[in-house]
């Protein structure tokens, strides 16, 4: 289903175009990427909490590296993504992008970013699902590297917040945490990454913006303001697509996958109103046509069926969303 979905997005890129603003909101939270997304070496993102709009983020971007054109590149170095935004969801789609001749080492990429505002002040989550693949026109299997770089700016103590920060990973496939006196933020993945690093934002940006540098599994701790990065290394056949998930949180636990995906009406509980919305989609079986989002497709296989009902039933039984 993922390969078919990526093929459908080839058409999407020609009709949606690049949005002039890339901002999603939910409740009192806002997440914003500079236009075009994943194209800027330095700061490119904003993650605001509550109505006073305290910003928590400096950078949130993705890079990749081809086997023969052996140089790390920002995802939008060669092409701007097709962008679709609806409420608290954003889809960024890259098709047949890359250096060199088409049909050699081109890639597809789809990023779905979802923002969830928490039930209390200064609390929210961002979930990213990335589908990354070798374009079907490529002649043979190739090694690809994909990187995710995130620089969180946690508000620290008085008078100077930066020296008050500290960061570390809790294990190779564990959770990255940045703490200050009064606040904290976390980032976690689905555990599929091959490497990670924590360090200064400038050092990690320099590593991933030029040459063919790999991450070194540096767990930290890293004192003062810093950043983190993950790396995935795959050999992909032509048309092969893989999926990874990354989640970040402010002042709450981080999950790679939304533990309350069945909260369709975004009121931080899964109740009868969500059941009504889910049942309507379940009756139709198929998701709406692109570019619309399919809120009731809880397992991301591009249809609403019994597998989604099992997920919905569990969350409906729990009722209150975990925060």
Q: What is the pLDDT along the chain (323 residues), one digit of tens a residue?
A: 444 444 444 344 333 434 446 999 999 999 999 999 999 999 999 999 987 678 899 999 999 999 988 999 999 999 999 999 999 999 999 999 998 888 889 999 999 999 999 999 999 999 999 999 999 999 999 999 999 999 998 876 665 565 667 787 776 567 888 888 778 999 999 999 999 999 999 999 999 998 899 999 988 888 878 899 999 999 999 999 999 999 999 999 999 999 999 999 999 999 999 999 999 999 888 899 989 999 999 999 999 999 999 999 999 999 999 99
185/271 same-domain check: no
Assign 235 to helix, strand or coil.
Answer: strand
pTM: 0.91
- Residue 11 confidence (pLDDT): 41
- Residue 102 confidence (pLDDT): 84
**Total structural domains within the chain:** 2
74/178 same-domain check: yes
φ/ψ of residue 47, rounded to 5: -135, 100
297/178 same-domain check: no
Q: Are the beta carbons of 88 and 266 closer than 8 angstroms?
A: yes
245/266 same-domain check: no
254/266 same-domain check: no
Query: What residues have CB less than 8 Å from 296, skipping those under 6 apart?
Result: 264, 277, 278, 281, 282, 304, 308, 312
181/291 same-domain check: no
311/227 same-domain check: no
Q: Are the beta carbons of 22 and 34 closer than 8 angstroms?
A: yes
157/175 same-domain check: yes
Q: Where are the beta strands (DSSP E) in 66-156?
A: 73-74, 82-86, 89-97, 107-117, 124-134, 142-152
235/292 same-domain check: no
- Residue bearing tokens 């509980």: 269
Query: pLDDT by residue (tens digit) across 245-255?
Result: 999 999 999 99
Assign 135 to helix, strand or coil.
Answer: coil
b or e along 243-280 (b: 16 or more beta carbons within 10 Å of the residue's beta carbon)? ebbbbbbbbbebbbebbbbbbbebebbbeeebbeebee
- Residue 171 confidence (pLDDT): 62
In terms of residue numbers, what domain contains 63? 2-258
């Amino acid at each position: 289903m993922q390969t078919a979905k990526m093929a459908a997005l080839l058409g999407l890129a020609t009709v949606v175009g690049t949005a002039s603003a890339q901002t999603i909101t939910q409740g009192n939270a806002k997440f914003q990427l500079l236009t075009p997304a994943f194209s800027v070496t330095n700061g490119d993102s904003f993650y605001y909490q509550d109505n006073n709009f305290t910003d928590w983020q400096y950078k949130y971007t993705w890079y990749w590296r081809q086997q023969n054109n052996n140089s790390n590149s920002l995802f939008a170095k060669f092409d701007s993504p097709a962008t679709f935004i609806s409420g608290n969801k954003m889809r960024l789609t890259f098709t047949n992008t890359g250096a060199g001749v088409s049909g050699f080492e081109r890639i597809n990429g789809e990023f779905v970013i979802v923002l969830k505002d928490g039930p209390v002040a200064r609390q929210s989550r961002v979930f990213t699902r990335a589908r990354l693949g070798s374009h079907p026109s490529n002649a043979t299997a190739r090694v690809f590297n994909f990187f995710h770089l995130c620089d969180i700016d946690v508000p620290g103590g008085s008078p100077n917040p930066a020296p008050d920060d500290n960061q570390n990973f809790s294990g190779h496939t564990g959770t990255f945490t940045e703490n200050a006196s009064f606040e904290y933020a976390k980032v976690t993945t689905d555990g599929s990454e091959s490497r990670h690093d924590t360090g200064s934002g400038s050092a990690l940006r320099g590593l991933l913006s030029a040459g063919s540098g790999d991450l070194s599994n540096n767990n930290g701790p890293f004192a003062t303001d810093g950043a983190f990065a993950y790396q995935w290394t795959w050999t992909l056949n032509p048309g092969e697509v893989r999926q990874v998930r990354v989640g970040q949180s402010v002042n709450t636990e981080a999950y790679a996958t939304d533990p309350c995906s069945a909260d369709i009406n975004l009121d931080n509980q899964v109740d009868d109103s969500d059941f009504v919305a889910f049942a309507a989609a379940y009756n139709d079986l198929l998701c709406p046509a692109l570019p619309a989002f399919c809120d009731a497709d809880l397992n991301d296989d591009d249809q609403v069926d019994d597998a989604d009902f099992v997920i919905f039933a569990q969350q409906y039984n729990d009722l209150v969303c975990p925060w």
